A and B are shown apart, each in its own frame.
Chain A
Amino acid sequence: MAELHILGQLHCASNFQDKSSLFCRYSFQAGPNWTVISGCPEGQTVSGKLDYEKTVIWAHPLDIHYVTKGVQGWPKLLVQVSCLDSIGRSWIVGYGCCNLPAVPGLHNIHVNCWVPSSTCITDRIRQYFLGGSHQLIQSDIVNLGLNRFKLKTQSKGTVQLQVNLLLRNFSQFGVEYK
């Protein structure tokens, strides 16, 4: 069976407009052909404070080993960025999803995030003064393109990750990727 190693770091978040510190929950989602041999396909980063460039550094290590029987359902990364304010409240400020490239070597990936926006003026005023946000009940809408029509969203910042991909035995099974 062919193997895929994901090594790297969930590096930082930039251009989120929030003033408080941010953290990220992430999960790698792969199709039914794929099995995780070692490593944690989901986790949570530290909660970082904004630095002078308005970015939040996480530098969260990633090391995941997949074994697969086919290329369908190549792993995707789902991120969910939340903020943690000074009195310990937290709410979601961004959802994002990105496909991992099927190319060995180092990749700098930018995941552009969005969040469900407030629909009425009272919600908007409350969120401006008190914080808080809407969140998705079914988060599978993030990685599926279905049923997004009625969703109103707002653009948020970017999550950056640096991943090194190592592929093993793919060419032995006739998979051509480069």
Chain B
Amino acid sequence: MKNSRRKFIKFAGMAALGWSICPSLAGARSGPRQSADRLRAERWAMVIDSEKLNDELMDKCIEACHKLHNVPDIPNDQNIKWIWKEPFYNLFHDQSHGYLKDKKSIPFLSLCNHCDNPPCVRVCPTQATFSRDDGIVLMDFHRCIGCRFCMAGCPYGSRSFNYFNPRNFLDDDQLVHDYPTREMGVVEKCEFCAHLLDQGDMPACVEASEGAILFGDLNDPNSDVRKVLRERYSLVRKPKLGTDPQVYYLI
């Protein structure tokens, strides 16, 4: 990724040089370009406001995500989840105690934390899962060999494996054509909607959350996410593991 940025700059520099010498050569080759519409950040992060989120909103977020990414609904323990509801205790058992009253069983949204120091990326033997330079931990479904080392490596249970052919559990007429399904035998997870960011849109769950989920650049001190993290108390999951998760929960 750093490499590609360097390549791009190099390419741009060469293009500028070429253009100054011989203007007719400008863009004289077919090839890859970066889209002008894409949203850019130094470090994408998500902030989930547990005060604003309610059960109904969470269902909307889940529905939006799973619909957009053609995530099948498999009615057993070999299922696929990108974003789902989990009781507070299950997410923050290391930061809770016996007298939390009702909080313990309140459902929260759970998804990939897009860690700054992701164990899944470290353990993947083919670099099928990798960190982009904007911090998103992405899956390359073309390359995954299905060894599931990343699932053992993930301390958050955020990854799912396609035990089945997912098309068996998807209605052909209901498929969303803009995003592929997966094939049997690869691992998948939340991607912070990298493909939407690349075309200039915000992630599906953020759009569906009616303002309860914020998404922005953590390196920009004036971004929404930085502002709200300054003002309110927030948690991340299992901070002691040093994975540096980038999904923040406002309490």
Answer yes or no: are A and B bound together in one complex: no
